[in-house]
């Protein structure tokens, strides 16, 4: 796993929603050239957006593989540490049903308050599937997806990590094999002792909308 310092040679302007004392828009200068010598970001291809994050596509120049880069606005106090903590949690995990983190780090100069995380690119979320289905998934498929998600959570348990934010939007699906990828460890922290909250977390996931659509 490589941490990184971004090299921003040319930039393009993108807009992300942020909360800042009533100011709801914050402009990020995103690197359109080299993120590292290895990863090249395409700022024109936005995969997703949230309050403080933008997800863009990136290319691995060594393998030619298309990846996703999460660009996090860390202008608020403590947000760099929060973003780094999320990535450090992900570094503890290595499982086929958990999103793989390839590299992470802050930018330089004007980009010093922007944090980057390069991850596998997975096409769409389970939430998209449930919306497209307009209701519960077929039982056989739901059981298969839930078994994969349970395996991912079990791995987190083995590595003493509690995800703490299980929901359809944080479960991605990729490929013809319907493979699950658990994402977004922003609320997760490695506990001091072994985590004992799996049952409660899974019970919540299965009894609260929209996760109950898997039932």
pLDDT tier, 39 (very low <50, low <70, confident <90, very high otherwise): confident
Mean pLDDT score across all residues of the chain: 75
- What CATH number should be reported for the domain holding residue 53? 3.30.200.20
Query: 51 and 79: one domain?
Result: yes
Helix 139-158 and helix 198-207: axis angle, to 10°?
150
**Nearest Cα to Cα of residue 178 among 210, 211, 147, 215:** 147
Query: 49 and 85: one domain?
Result: yes
Query: 116 and 140: one domain?
Result: no
* Span 76-117, pLDDT tens digits: 888 889 899 999 999 999 999 999 999 998 877 767 788 889
pLDDT tier, 8 (very low <50, low <70, confident <90, very high otherwise): very low
Give the Cα separation of 162 and 135 in Å (integer).
28
- What CATH number should be reported for the domain holding residue 153? 1.10.510.10
Residue 120 has pLDDT above 70, yes or no: yes
* Span 133-191, pLDDT tens digits: 777 788 998 999 999 999 999 999 999 999 999 998 899 998 777 899 999 998 987 66
Residue 64 has pLDDT above 50, yes or no: yes
* 165 labelled catalytic: yes
Query: 114 and 138: one domain?
Result: no
Query: 77 and 166: one domain?
Result: no
Residue 121 has pLDDT above 90, yes or no: yes
Domain that holds residue 153: 124-214
pLDDT tier, 194 (very low <50, low <70, confident <90, very high otherwise): low
Choose one of 120, 144, 177: the last residue of a domain: 120
Query: 76 and 144: one domain?
Result: no
Residue 17 has pLDDT above 60, yes or no: no
Residue 29 has pLDDT above 70, yes or no: no
Choose one of 120, 154, 179: the last residue of a domain: 120
Choose one of 66, 101, 120: the last residue of a domain: 120
Query: 111 and 206: one domain?
Result: no
Query: 100 and 25: one domain?
Result: yes
Q: What is the count of structural domains for the chain?
A: 2
Higher-confidence residue of 22 and 58: namely 58
Query: 25 and 55: one domain?
Result: yes
Q: What is the structure's pLDDT at 107?
A: 74
Query: 33 and 19: one domain?
Result: yes
Query: 128 and 110: one domain?
Result: no
Q: What is the structure's pLDDT at 181?
A: 95
Query: 17 and 97: one domain?
Result: yes
Catalytic residue (choose from 42, 128, 165, 178): 165
Instruction: To the nearest 10°, report the CA torsion of 85, 94, 65, 122.
Output: -80
């Amino acid at each position: 796993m490589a941490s990184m310092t971004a090299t921003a040679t040319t930039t393009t302007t993108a807009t992300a929603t942020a909360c800042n004392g009533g100011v709801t828009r914050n402009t990020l200068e995103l690197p359109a050239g080299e993120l590292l010598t290895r990863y090249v970001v395409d700022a024109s291809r936005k995969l997703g957006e949230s309050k403080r994050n933008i997800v863009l596509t990136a290319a691995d120049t060594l393998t030619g593989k298309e990846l996703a880069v999460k660009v996090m606005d860390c202008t608020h106090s403590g947000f760099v540490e929060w973003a780094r903590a999320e990535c450090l949690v992900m570094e503890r995990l290595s499982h086929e049903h958990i999103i793989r983190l390839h590299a992470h780090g802050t930018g330089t100069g004007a980009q010093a308050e922007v944090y980057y995380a390069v991850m596998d690119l997975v096409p769409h979320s389970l939430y998209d599937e449930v919306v497209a289905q307009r209701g519960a998934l077929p039982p056989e498929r739901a059981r298969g997806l839930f078994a994969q998600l349970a395996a991912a959570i079990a791995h987190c348990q083995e590595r003493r990590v509690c995800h703490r934010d299980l929901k359809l939007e944080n479960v991605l699906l990729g490929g013809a094999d319907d493979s699950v990828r658990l994402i977004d460890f922003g609320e997760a922290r490695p506990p001091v002792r072994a985590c004992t909250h799996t049952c409660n977390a899974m019970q919540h996931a299965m009894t609260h909308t929209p996760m109950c659509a898997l039932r």
